[in-house]
Structure 1
Amino acid sequence: MTDPRPESIVRDEHAQLDYSSSMSYGDYLHIDQVLSAQHPLSPAHDEMLFIIQHQTSELWMKLMLTEIGAAMQDVRGDHLPPAFKKLARASRIFEQLVNAWDVLATMTPPEYSAIRPYLGPSSGFQSFQYRCIEFALGNKNAAMLKVHAHKPERLALVKSYFDAPSLYDESLRLMARRGLAIPADHLERDWNQPYEASDAVEAAWLSVYRDPETHWDLYQLGEKLTDLEDAFRVWRFKHVTTVERIIGFKRGTGGTSGVGYLRKMLDVVLFPELWRLRTDL
């Protein structure tokens, strides 16, 4: 877009800019390090796409963990308005991750086959940040810890999410503090275990949804959680579709069944009562 100001003003403004300071754009963002982190192993042109797709996804996941962790802290402190902003941002991050699959989907099966032998056993299944996100959202599975056992510091981080209450657990604890009837065994339990749906929890959410004016911020919390899981489901669906488009039903490089495993993940429900209550309203 052309700058509408007189050329002399624009020229003078640029002349006054000081680019000699100790902090530049590249310095602040560590651009040299970021742009030097791509090291293709094959001679194939398309490997750069494969690397950048996954590296940028990891950056978005880092931000998502930051937002979800901060939102959980807000919920623990009964500060829901700032939690809503962070949860909305996390949902938008999932949208970015969904759109990234569209770029990877430009890779055809022969193009992927040209780089696959160079990947060895490496797999997105081994992403420790993704595992932290799953655990933070309540999809607990002890078998997933073994994937990170070879790096004790990474294992400790993943296990910290595995051992802690999930975002949904913290939401239920907040509801109980507000006087809603949440069963005791959903307030203090073995956080390593997957969440189990409860009729009593659904009844508590139903009381919120049937009287949103009285429980407006809890009503909003329920919708923000639903938005987040909705976005996560879209990401999972796009993931399995992209993998099937590129490799069909071949086994994954990390040893999983590939598309078969990913399709099973489509059935995982993170916040079950928030979906069930819609039938009963």
Structure 2
Amino acid sequence: MLADIVDALRCPLCAEPLALVDRSLACPARHSFDVARQGYANLLPGGARPGTADTSEMVRARSAFLGAGHFAPLAAALGSLLRGTGRILDAGAGTGYYLAAVLNADSVGIALDLSKHAARRAARAHPRIGAVVADLWQDLPLRSASVDAVLNVFAPRNAAEYRRVLRPDGALFTVTPSSRHLGPLIAELGLLTVDDRKNERTDDALAGHFALASRDTLDLTADLGHAEIATLVGMGPSAHHVPADDLAERIAKLPDPFPVPLSFVLSVYR
């Protein structure tokens, strides 16, 4: 709920602290932001555009895929890494699936996403999640040193802002695909590949703000039906790379179900 996280929020227009007043968030400079009836707040500055935010159809498909449990081992691994963490920011939270999985009785979560459709679901994903619509590439609507951990799963990494909002002893937890992710699907469907230097490039992008503390790889295999494969592809960067008709034709040629390798790199930065 927003009441659990409001003390971490700041106005996106003037950076003053926000307070929850009736059904809105307001700052001392009298900037006000309505809280939607679904429980999330939109803190995009005036005139900002949602751009590449996930549509309602994309969010619905992603929710169904994650709800089927295909990525449950990844969520469990993140839960082990973040056990005992107080306030967690999920930057690029989507439906709130991973954030809900890592929260325990003593923690609260802040779900930031550019999509209002994702924020609606994140606000309902767990009773101690406060969901906010915000652009990860801009200044985050959070006070400095206000969170204990930043979770970043397949989402943009704004190193300077993540460091600003983290407490000095906090950590950034990222999940990226390894070069083994999706295996034969890449050639069969003409998908984008993950190069072998992705970890190195991620480290370089965070350098100056974060240093790598640990890194592990999680390898799984999921037997997916054709519809699930289409959803999985639609959740990644290849969604805009392969024409929909071409993708459907290629998927139809695969065995049903088809064993799909899932390979994730879990990194911790401090």
The TM-score with structure 2 as length reference comes to 0.30
In terms of fraction of residues, the more strand-rich structure is 2
Larger radius of gyration: 1
The TM-score with structure 1 as length reference comes to 0.29
The structure showing larger relative contact order (alpha-carbon pairs under 8 Å, at least 6 residues apart) is: 1
